[in-house]
Structure 1
Amino acid sequence: MAESMSSAQKLRNARACEACRISKSRCVYKSDVGVCQRCEQNGNHCIVRSKARPMRTRAVRPSSSSHKGDSEFSIELPTMSSPDTRQDVEDLHDRHMEIFGDGDAAYDEQSHSSRCPQQPPARIERRKVTLDEAESLLSSFRQQVAYFPFVQISAGSTVPSLSRTSPFLLLAILTTASIRDPPLYHQLDHEFKRILSTKVIVEGRKSLDFIQGILVYVAWYPLHANPKNNQAFMYINLAITIASDLGLDREIPNLSSFSNIGFEGLIEGISFTDAAKRAYLGGYYLSTALSLSFQKHPELRYCKLMDSYGQSLVLQESSAEISSLIKLQRLSKRIAEAHSSEEPQGDPQMEALNSEVNIQVYQYELQEWRNSTPLLIRNLPFIGIAERHVGCAIYSYQLGFLRRPYRDYLRSTASSGLANQIHLEKCLEASKKFFEYLLSLPETTYLNFTVIQWSSVVHGILVLSRLTFLMAANLGWDSDTTRSNVPLVMYLDALCYRFQHLSLTPSDTVEPPQNPDVLYVFRMILRSCKKSYERRVSKIEPGFMVVDHTNVIGVARGHCPILDPTLNPLFDIPDSAYEGSYELSDSTTPGSSSTAGYVPQYHDIWAVMSGSWAKEF
Structure 2
Amino acid sequence: MLPNTHRHSTWSTNYGCSRVEMLEKKVDQLTSQLAALTRQDGQTPPDTSTSNPLAHDLGSSCDPELDSTDIAGLLDAAKDPSHGLDPPTSSVLEGQPSIVDRGLLSEAEAERLVTTFQLDLVPKFPFVLIARGETAARLRDREPFLFLCIVAATIGSAHPLRKTVAEEIMEHVTSRVVARSERNLELLRGLLVHCAWYSYPAERYHPRLLLLIQFCVSTLYDLGLHRKPSPNSDEQRALLGTYWLSVGICGTLGRPIIMKHDSRTGECIESIAATEHLSDRWIAAFIHLQSFLATVDEVYASIEASSGRALIQVTRSSLQRQFDSVRACVERDLSSYPLSTESAMRTEIKYVEMRLEELSLREELWIAEPASAVRTTMLMGIIQRSKELIHTVRDLPVSEIVHMTITTSARICAAVGYMPTAVLTLLNLITGPTDSTTEAQVQAIVDAADYPNLVTELAKALETKFEGMSAADKETDIVGSLCSKMRLLARCYPYQIRAIIGTAPSQDARQDTSVMAVHANEVAMTPQVWPSIYGDLGDIFPVEDIQWDSILSNFTGFSSYS
TM above 0.5, one fold? yes
Could you say which residue in structure 1 is the equivalent of 2:255? 296
Equivalent pairs counted in the alignment come to 401
Could you list the per-position Cα deviations for residues 254-297 of structure 1 after superposition, in whole angstroms to 9, with x for gaps in the alignment?
xxxxxxxxxxxxxxxxx211111010111111111111111110
| In structure 2, C-alpha distance between the alignment counterparts of 1:433 and 1:563, rounded to whole Å | 22
**Aligned-partner SS, 2:105:** strand
What is the CA distance between 1:422 and its match in structure 2? 2.2
The match for 2:267 is 308
**d(CA) in 2 for partners of 1:423, 1:181:** 40
Instruction: Specify the code of the residue in structure 2 equivalent to 1:392.
Output: M
Between Structure 1 and Structure 2, whose CA radius of gyration is higher?
2
Cα gap change, 1:194 to 1:500, in 2 (>3 Å): closer
Q: Which amino acid aligns with 2:244?
A: Y
Q: Which amino acid aligns with 1:364?
A: R
1: distance between equivalents of 2:279 and 2:371?
Answer: 48
- 2:461 aligns with one of 483, 498, 505: 498
Structure 2 CA distance for partners of 1:533 and 1:164, relative to 1, 3 Å: same
The structural deviation recorded for 1:434 is: 2.1
Q: Aligned partners of 1:354, 1:389: CA distance in 2, in Å?
A: 23
Q: Could you say which residue in structure 1 is the equivalent of 2:490?
A: 530
Mapped to 1, the partners of 2:297 and 2:336 lie a distance apart of 25
Where do residues 417-432 of structure 1 align in structure 2 (5 Å cutoff)?
A: 417-419=370-372, 420-432=375-387
Distance 1:345 1:561, change over 3 A: closer
1:192 aligns with 2:169: yes
TM-score normalised by length of structure 1? 0.59
- CA offsets per residue over residues 346-388 of structure 1, 9 Å max, x none? 7xxxx22211111111111221123223132676111111111
Separation (CA, whole Å) in 2 of partners of 1:233 and 1:156 = 33
| Helix, strand or coil at the partner of 2:260 | coil
Q: Per the alignment, in what secondary structure is the counterpart of residue 540 of structure 1?
A: helix
1:533–1:200: structure 2 CA closer, same or farther, 3 Å change rule? same
- Normalized against structure 2, the TM-score is what? 0.65
Kindly indicate whether the alpha-carbon contact (under 8 Å) linking 1:536 and 1:556 is maintained by their aligned counterparts in 2.
no
CA distance in 1, matches of 2:206, 2:389: 28
Cα distance between partner residues in 1 of 2:387 and 2:201: 21
Query: What does residue 340 of structure 1 align with?
Result: 301
2:280 to 289, 294, 319: 319
Between Structure 1 and Structure 2, the one with more helix by share is: 2
Gaps of 5+ in 2: 1-96, 432-437, 505-542, 555-562
Q: CA separation in 1, counterparts of 2:125 and 2:430?
A: 42
Do structure 1's residue 211 and structure 2's residue 188 form an aligned pair? yes
Q: 1:157 to 1:339 in 2, by over 3 A?
A: same
Of residues 86, 100, 111, the one that matches 1:74 is 100
2:550: which partner in 1? Answer: 560
Q: Secondary structure at the match of 1:248?
A: coil
Give secondary structure in 2 for the equivalent of 1:74. coil
Distance 2:143 2:98 in 1: 21
In 1, the alpha carbon distance for the partners of 2:207 and 2:360 equals 28
Query: Aligned partners of 1:72, 1:217: CA distance in 2, in Å?
Result: 17
Kept in 2: contact 1:482–1:537 (CA 8 A): no
Indicate conservation of the 8 Å contact 1:424/1:471, yes or no.
yes
1:134 match: 110
Superposed CA offset, 1:556-611 (max 9, x none): 972434999xxxxxxxxxxxxxxxxxxxxxxxxxxxxxxxxxxxxxxxxxxxxxxx
Instruction: Find out whether 1:276 has 2:244 as its counterpart.
Output: no
CA shift at 1:430, angstroms?
A: 2.4
Which amino acid in the other structure matches residue 299 of structure 1?
I
Could you tell me how far apart the structure 2 residues matched to 1:515 and 1:486 are? 28
For residues 364 and 542 of structure 1, do their structure 2 counterparts lie closer, same or farther at Cα, with a shift above 3 Å needed?
A: farther
Aligned-pair distance for 1:187?
1.2
The reply on whether 1:441 has 2:392 as its aligned counterpart is no
Q: Match for 1:361 among 311, 318, 321?
A: 318
Q: Percent identity?
A: 17
Alpha-carbon distance change, 427 to 73 in structure 1, aligned in 2, over 3 angstroms? closer
1:412-445 Cα offsets, whole Å, 9 max, x none, are 7467632522222333332233233333332332
Shift of 1:531: 1.2
Aligned 8 A contact 1:169 1:209 in 2: yes
Q: Is the 8 A contact 1:220 1:449 kept in 2?
A: yes
Write out per-residue CA displacement over residues 133-189 of structure 1, whole angstroms, 9 at most, x where no aligned residue: 322332343322321111123442221121233221111111222342354211111
C-alpha contact (below 8 Å) 1:176/1:185 kept by paired residues: no
Mapped pair 1:459 → 2:485? no
Alignment match of 1:388 (pick from 350, 353, 368): 350
* Residue aligning to 1:376: 335
What RMSD, in angstroms, separates the aligned Cα atoms of the two structures?
Answer: 3.1
Deviations along 1:171-223, one digit per CA (max 9) or x if unpaired, are: 11112223423542111111111122222333333211110000011111127
Distance apart, 1:234 and its partner CA? 1.5
Indicate the residue corresponding to 2:137 in structure 1.
Answer: 160
Structure 1 residues 225 and 238, CA, compared in 2 at 3 Å: closer, same or farther?
A: closer
Q: Secondary structure at the match of 1:299?
A: coil
**1:182–1:517 contact (8 Å) kept in structure 2:** no
Give yes or no for contact 1:504–1:517 (8 Å, CA) kept in 2: no
Distance in structure 2 (CA, Å) of the matches to 1:563 and 1:468: 16
Counterpart Cα distance in 1 of 2:220 and 2:214: 10
Q: How much has 1:72 moved relative to structure 2?
A: 11
Indicate how the Cα distance of structure 1 residues 365 and 155 shifts in structure 2: closer, same or farther if over 3 A, else same. same
Contact 1:503 1:517 in 2 (8 A): no
Cα distance change on mapping 1:154 and 1:504 into 2, 3 Å: farther
Contact 1:218 1:232 in 2 (8 A): yes
- Kindly indicate whether the alpha-carbon contact (under 8 Å) linking 1:288 and 1:329 is maintained by their aligned counterparts in 2: yes
More strand by share: 1
Residue 448 of structure 2: aligned partner: 485
The residue number in structure 1 matching 2:19 is none
Any conservation in 2 of the 1:239–1:283 contact (CA below 8 Å)? Answer: yes
Q: Tell me the equivalent position of 1:583.
A: none
Provide Cα deviations, 1:90-117, integer angstroms capped at 9, x if missing partner: xxxxxxxxxxxxxxxxxxxxxxxxxxxx
Task: Decide whether aligned partners of structure 1 residues 235 and 450 sit closer, same or farther in structure 2, where only a CA change above 3 A counts.
Answer: same
Against the structure 1 CA distance between its residues 514 and 215, is the aligned structure 2 distance closer, same or farther, given a 3 Å change threshold? closer
Amino acid at match of 2:348: A
Residue pairs, 1:25-104, within 5 angstroms: 74-76=100-102
Instruction: Tell me: higher relative CO, structure 1 or 2? Use CA pairs within 8 A at least 6 residues apart.
Output: 1
What residue identity is the alignment partner of 1:463? Y
Contact 2:156 2:465 in 1 (8 A): no
The residue type paired with residue 343 of structure 2 is P
